């Protein structure tokens, strides 16, 4: 049987574009791709990239005081949102153009419209055109979800926060995950009076407790009103403001309320139900270790599969899919020991097991140090950083590394190599320190602070 394409990809985000490019450009496959929104997907258009630019923009406010303390004659001003936002829009347009060009230059035929699956080898575009393909790859990503409650329609999500008409004077951010905690820091740094509600006992559930505790403490020191054990009961519009009634009995007004209470996979209305493609509890597409669904010609990668929802993971899944399907080299996706950074302020870099996970798994030693970094301490700052290693007592392997510090994302990328290689504590110790940098503590901690 002959098909229009060897591969049809639904979704032009990081994972889909990578798979399409490599299948077409490096493997000579005939590839089609459909994207109903903007090319680049969540990461490039409404996630990692604009978020990181906002982190950069927000960090300047803290630098002015430090510069003054170092002797600079410098005055703080305010962020001009229009200037920043204008540049942001231009940059996102540029990046989207790059994504489109990647596809074009690799011979991928792309359509700017929604596609659904009609049968195991056929997709239908929104204009009614049908295309056949030997393989179909679903890479449709995810979207923010806001729970239903009175006034929930007044909330914005991370999709809208990048394109506010003006910077609000006050914002409430609801949620305690990556997105909520990152945006609390961003908004606070941009000069917005920032409140964060989290329903649980500590933000960033699932990560190392000591690290979470320090991040929350520092966020509060920076001026964010982090209210733990608190949720929204109802919201009402009051003039230009939103009145929020909270579970802790308080009522406050905010200019903007942003919900970052989780994301859902974009797997609805794609035609999958009729084909019997299995969906999980959150609606995600269920796939095996090769990203294959129960329908052999249909694969899925990235956030729509809700495995590890990170851009570099989606890209890995896309590459492994191409290796498996187009190179005849079955390649399972390795989801072990993925280093990651959370761009809270202070930043958090982490790989491997938390102290709690390590202790639950086997006897461990914990090496940790928390101190005032030189640059801030000189300026009179009270901020602290944390360097922490979780070590197996039996194998001496470093099971986890957790860094709360400026630049922690950069540091954990490198520490992640050692941890992924299975480095032992003694391997870390044999490495000569780089002096004077914060990360030298990772190779100079001699005594465990505790065992568990
Ligand atoms: P998360 O699932 O990480 O966090 C959701 C938060 O909202 C949790 O604190 C959760 O509380 C809370 N919550 C859930 N439902 C409700 C509710 N009904 N009312 C109040 N609070 C609620 O989602 P995010 O939106 O923060 O991020 C989604 C994903 O995006 C992450 O898993 C991550 O993989 C990815 N991401 C990665 C980034 C990075 O690498 N730096 C940056 C941003 C996103 P509870 O803990 O009690 O469940």
User: Is 437 inside a domain boundary?
Assistant: yes
- Residue whose C-alpha is closest to residue 319's, from 12, 1, 15: 15
Q: What is the position in ligand 1's atom list of the atom closest to the CA of 310?
A: 34
Average pLDDT over residues 129-144: 98
Provide the CATH number for the domain around residue 65.
Answer: 3.50.50.60
Task: Please identify, among 240, 261, 282, the residue that sits at the C-terminal boundary of a domain.
Answer: 261
Centroid of ligand 1 to alpha carbon of 308 (angstroms): 13
Looking at the structure, do residues 65 and 178 belong to the same domain, yes or no?
A: no
207-219 pLDDT, tens digit each? 999 999 999 999 9
Q: Does the annotation mark 85 as catalytic?
A: no
How far is Cα 227 from Cα 220, in angstroms, rounded to an integer?
10
User: Which of 178, 181, 233, 266 is the best mutation target for the ligand 1 pocket, counting ligand atoms within 8 Å of the beta carbon and taking the most?
Assistant: 178
| Pocket lined around ligand 1, Cβ cut-off 6 Å | 147, 174-180, 182, 198-200, 205, 231, 260-263, 309-310, 340-343
Nearest CA to ligand 1 atom 4: 177
User: Is 335 inside a domain boundary?
Assistant: no
- Mean pLDDT, the chain, rounded, equals 97
Average pLDDT over residues 424-440: 98
Looking at the structure, do residues 41 and 111 belong to the same domain, yes or no?
A: yes
User: Which of 261, 265, 312, 313 is the best mutation target for the ligand 1 pocket, counting ligand atoms within 8 Å of the beta carbon and taking the most?
Assistant: 261
Centroid of ligand 1 to alpha carbon of 221 (angstroms): 23
Nearest CA to ligand 1 atom 13: 261
Looking at the structure, do residues 125 and 166 belong to the same domain, yes or no?
A: no
Looking at the structure, do residues 366 and 419 belong to the same domain, yes or no?
A: yes
Tokens of residue 428, six digits: 């870390």
Looking at the structure, do residues 125 and 179 belong to the same domain, yes or no?
A: no
Looking at the structure, do residues 166 and 315 belong to the same domain, yes or no?
A: no
CB-based contact 306:142 (threshold 8 Å): yes
Q: Can you say which residues are annotated as belonging to the binding site for NAD(+)?
A: 175-182, 262
Provide the CATH number for the domain around residue 440.
Answer: 3.30.390.30
Q: What is the position in ligand 1's atom list of the atom closest to the CA of 180?
A: 26
Q: Which residues contact 33 (CB under 8 A, 6 or more apart)?
A: 8, 9, 10, 11, 12, 16, 17, 20, 103, 108, 109, 110, 111
Q: What is the position in ligand 1's atom list of the atom closest to the CA of 48?
A: 42
Centroid of ligand 1 to alpha carbon of 263 (angstroms): 7
Centroid of ligand 1 to alpha carbon of 260 (angstroms): 6
Looking at the structure, do residues 317 and 354 belong to the same domain, yes or no?
A: no
Range of the domain at 109: 5-143+264-326
Centroid of ligand 1 to alpha carbon of 436 (angstroms): 36
Looking at the structure, do residues 257 and 301 belong to the same domain, yes or no?
A: no
User: Which of 179, 181, 246, 410 is the best mutation target for the ligand 1 pocket, counting ligand atoms within 8 Å of the beta carbon and taking the most?
Assistant: 179
Looking at the structure, do residues 318 and 438 belong to the same domain, yes or no?
A: no
Selecting among 85, 121, 135, 435, the annotated active-site residue is 435
Average pLDDT over residues 43-61: 97
Nearest CA to ligand 1 atom 47: 200
The pLDDT score that the predictor gives to residue 1 is: 76
The pLDDT score that the predictor gives to residue 222 is: 97
pLDDT band at 20 (very low <50, low <70, confident <90, very high): very high
User: Is 27 inside a domain boundary?
Assistant: yes
Q: Can you say which residues are annotated as belonging to the binding site?
A: 52, 175-182, 262, 303
Q: What is the position in ligand 1's atom list of the atom closest to the CA of 204?
A: 9
User: Is 44 inside a domain boundary?
Assistant: yes
Looking at the structure, do residues 31 and 135 belong to the same domain, yes or no?
A: yes
Instruction: Tell me how many domains the chain contains.
Output: 3
Tokens of residue 111, six digits: 């359509």
Centroid of ligand 1 to alpha carbon of 179 (angstroms): 6
How far is Cα 257 from Cα 55, in angstroms, rounded to an integer?
19
Q: What is the position in ligand 1's atom list of the atom closest to the CA of 342?
A: 41
Render 158-212 in DSSP notation, one character per residue: HHHHTT-SS--SEEEEE--SHHHHHHHHHHHHTT-EEEEEESSSSSSTTS-HHHH
Average pLDDT over residues 417-423: 98
65-75 pLDDT, tens digit each? 999 999 999 99
The pLDDT score that the predictor gives to residue 441 is: 98
Q: Is 452 exposed, middle or buried (0-12, 13-18, 19+ CB in 10 A)?
A: middle
Q: Can you say which residues are annotated as belonging to the binding site for FAD?
A: 52, 303
- Residue whose C-alpha is closest to residue 288's, from 262, 324, 263: 324
Task: Please identify, among 300, 326, 352, the residue that sits at the C-terminal boundary of a domain.
Answer: 326
Instruction: Tell me the chain's radius of gyration from C-alpha atoms.
Output: 24
The pLDDT score that the predictor gives to residue 255 is: 98
69-121 pLDDT, tens digit each? 999 999 989 999 999 999 999 999 999 999 999 999 999 999 999 999 999 99
User: Is 102 inside a domain boundary?
Assistant: yes
User: Is 83 inside a domain boundary?
Assistant: yes
Looking at the structure, do residues 117 and 215 belong to the same domain, yes or no?
A: no
Q: Measure the N-to-C terminal CA separation of the chain; round to a whole number of Å.
A: 61
On the question of pLDDT at 323 being above 90, the answer is yes
| 3-class secondary-structure state, position 10 | strand
Looking at the structure, do residues 48 and 165 belong to the same domain, yes or no?
A: no
Phi/psi at 48 (nearest 5 deg)? -45, -50
């Amino acid at each position: 049987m002959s098909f229009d394409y060897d591969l049809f990809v639904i979704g032009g985000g990081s994972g889909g574009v990578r798979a399409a490019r490599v299948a077409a450009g490096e493997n000579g496959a005939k590839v089609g791709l459909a994207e109903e929104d903007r090319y680049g997907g969540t990461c490039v258009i409404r996630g990692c990239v604009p978020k990181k630019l906002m982190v950069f923009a927000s960090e300047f406010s803290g630098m002015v005081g430090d510069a003054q303390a170092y002797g600079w004659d410098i005055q703080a001003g305010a962020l001009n949102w229009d200037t920043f936002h204008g540049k942001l829009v231009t940059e996102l347009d540029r990046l989207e153009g790059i994504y489109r060009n990647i596809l074009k230059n690799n011979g991928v035929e792309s359509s700017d419209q929604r596609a659904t699956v009609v049968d195991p080898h056929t997709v239908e575009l929104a204009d009614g055109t049908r295309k056949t393909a030997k393989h179909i790859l679903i890479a449709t990503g995810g979207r923010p979800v806001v729970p239903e409650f009175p006034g929930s329609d007044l909330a914005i999500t991370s999709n809208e926060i990048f394109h506010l008409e003006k910077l609000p004077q006050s914002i409430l951010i609801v949620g305690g995950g990556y997105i909520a905690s990152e945006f609390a820091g961003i908004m606070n740094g941009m000069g917005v009076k920032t409140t964060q509600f989290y329903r649980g006992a500590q933000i960033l559930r699932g990560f190392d407790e000591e690290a979470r505790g320090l991040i929350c403490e520092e966020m509060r020191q920076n001026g964010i009103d982090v209210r733990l054990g608190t949720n929204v009961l109802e919201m009402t519009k009051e003039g230009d403001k939103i009145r929020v009634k909270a579970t802790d009995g308080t009522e406050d007004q905010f200019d903007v309320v942003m919900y970052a209470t989780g994301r859902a996979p974009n797997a609805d209305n794609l035609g999958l139900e009729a084909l019997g493609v299995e969906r999980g509890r959150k609606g995600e597409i269920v796939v095996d270790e090769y990203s294959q669904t129960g329908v052999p010609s249909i694969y899925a990668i990235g956030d729509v599969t809700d495995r590890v929802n990170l851009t570099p993971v989606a890209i890995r899944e896309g590459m492994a899919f191409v290796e498996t399907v187009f190179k005849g080299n079955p390649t399972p996706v390795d989801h072990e020991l993925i280093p990651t950074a959370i761009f809270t302020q202070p930043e958090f870099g982490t790989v491997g097991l938390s102290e709690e996970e390590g202790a639950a798994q086997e006897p461990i030693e914990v090496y940790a140090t928390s101190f005032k970094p030189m640059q801030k301490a000189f300026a009179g700052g009270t901020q602290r950083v944390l360097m922490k290693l979780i070590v197996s007592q039996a194998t001496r392997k470093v099971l986890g590394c957790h860094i709360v510090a400026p630049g922690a994302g950069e540091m954990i990328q490198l520490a992640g190599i050692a941890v992924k290689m299975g480095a032992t504590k003694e391997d870390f110790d044999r490495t000569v320190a780089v002096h004077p940098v914060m990360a030298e503590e990772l190779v100079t901690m001699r005594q465990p602070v505790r065992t568990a």
